[in-house]
Amino acid sequence: MSEIKLSEQLGAMAIIDELYQKQQLLLEHLDRDVLRDRLKENIRNYYQTKGQSIDDSLIEKGINLWFDKRLRFNAPKRNWFMHFLALCYIKRNILYSIIFIILSALALINFAEITFAKKIKNNIDSTYNHILSTKSTLDDLNKKFLEIDKYPINFSQVPIKKLKNSIIDLLNQNIIPSIIKSGTDISSIAQKDEDILKYLKETDESINTKLSEITSLITQLHELLEKDKKLTKLTQNQVFTDVSKKYPILQNAVDSILDNLNQGQTDIDINRIETLYSSIERAEFLEKKIESDTKQLLELNVPKSDMDPIIALQTSLLADLKDLNFENVENYQTMMAYYIKLAQTNLTLTIVDHPDHKSGVERTHENTNGKSWYLIVQALTPTGKPTSIWVKSIETGESKLVEMFGQQVTLKAFNDVKEDKINDGHIDNNKLCAKPKGRLIFNCPNSVKSGRISEW
């Protein structure tokens, strides 16, 4: 084994001495009784050297207090920032969540702002391009107006002149701003994109409003010119002149339209004139039918004395036809068919003799306390078939087509029928009136009056 150098031995011994001294110091600190005695002796000697008399109990008390604080950790005082950092460290999980939420919110806000700004830019571009496109629309409207302006005018000078002046006034206005038409940088009108978009939106809305107004006026002008043309074609011909003399309502309708046009109104009701004009053929057909009906009745040898209701009916219809009014045509046709059939048929007013029906009724008038007597009758053909006839009730004034009605008679005629029925339960003499073929009115004895009733 090789010899160990002295320097190495000295170094190792130095380390051992250092460890030994540390061990001794540690033992001194850990040996409480030895340490207390040594502290007590040193403190007493210190105060004696200074000439101060200290009670051993006081020294003992001080040493006890020192031992109480000897191994206790006293945290150093920290400022508010250190406390804040410590709290952040303790609550770091919550803090991380809050920071993440804040950063996410900031990111979303930033993204929204970017998206909004991009959207505004797109709206600015689209609105600007739309405004530029309206220039071609305005040019088209101007061309359309110039074409319409060449149309001839006959009756509508006043309203057409008014419409043209309104259109020209709008077309001469600076509808599209010069900043748009010249292509100038629109950022010069405002600093913010929102202000630029607002300006463009307002401009676009104003342009669209005026274009719509121009379009509407041009449409009205075109329609008015077309109606004027149609009115001219309809009225300025010999046929219209001739028929308007026969049917003055046609000329009245035209005059009414011309009055409205001269007052500046734009409404021309051509449809009414066309409807009236187209109905002339129907009116002429009905006039011929009236002649045909009269001829047919005359061929049936209907006397003039029976023609009063027919003449009144035809006179009323002819007056309506002069005004091209066809409201009562259906009633006329119904009544004429009835009268012709009545003239073609032999009828007998026969008193009803049936156990289920009354043969006569007596009426007492409330106002006068007077009385009237009626026999219930039917109009029968030679074969005994009942025929419906028109009856106007003397009580209600209403006309009805009935098979059975009450015919007013004198008291004597009423009592004769009453006695006839009482004798054997039947009416032997049940024929009251007769109407031969070719007549419209029944031939009745003097005991029969004109009054009739339809209800009893």
What integer pLDDT is reported at residue 189 of this predicted model?
A: 57
What integer pLDDT is reported at residue 2 of this predicted model?
A: 56
Query: Could you report the per-residue pLDDT of 246-280, keeping only the tens digit for each?
Result: 899 988 988 888 888 888 887 778 888 888 888 99
> What is the three-class DSSP state of 251?
helix
Asked if residue 420 lies in contact with residue 436, where contact means CB atoms within 8 angstroms, the answer is no
**Res. 314: pLDDT tops 50:** yes
Asked if residue 176 lies in contact with residue 138, where contact means CB atoms within 8 angstroms, the answer is yes
Rg (CA), the chain: 63
Instruction: Give the whole-angstrom CA distance, residue 454 versus residue 342.
Output: 19
Q: Count of CB atoms within 10 A of residue 58's CB? A: 11
Q: Count of CB atoms within 10 A of residue 399's CB? A: 12
What integer pLDDT is reported at residue 440 of this predicted model?
A: 94
Instruction: Output the six-digit token pair for 453.
Output: 């009733």
Share of the chain above pLDDT 70, in %: 95
**Res. 203: pLDDT tops 60:** yes
Query: Could you report the per-residue pLDDT of 317-350, keeping only the tens digit for each?
Result: 999 999 999 999 999 999 999 999 999 999 999 9
Backbone dihedral region for residue 384 (phi beyond 0: left; psi -120 to 50: alpha; all else: beta): left
**Res. 373: pLDDT tops 80:** yes
Residue with the bigger pLDDT between 221 and 266: it is 221
**Res. 183: pLDDT tops 60:** no
What integer pLDDT is reported at residue 134 of this predicted model?
A: 85
**Res. 315: pLDDT tops 50:** yes
Q: Please report which helix (H) or strand (E) contains residue 273, including its range.
A: helix 270-278
Asked if residue 321 lies in contact with residue 341, where contact means CB atoms within 8 angstroms, the answer is no
Of 51-60, 111-120, 387-396, the range with the highest mean pLDDT is 387-396
Confidence of residue 129 (pLDDT cuts 50, 70, 90): confident
Asked if residue 344 lies in contact with residue 437, where contact means CB atoms within 8 angstroms, the answer is yes
What integer pLDDT is reported at residue 1 of this predicted model?
A: 45
How many whole angstroms from its chain centre is CA 210?
26
Q: Please report which helix (H) or strand (E) contains residue 449, including its range.
A: strand 448-453
Once rounded to an integer, what is the mean pLDDT over residues 103-112? 91
Asked if residue 248 lies in contact with residue 322, where contact means CB atoms within 8 angstroms, the answer is yes
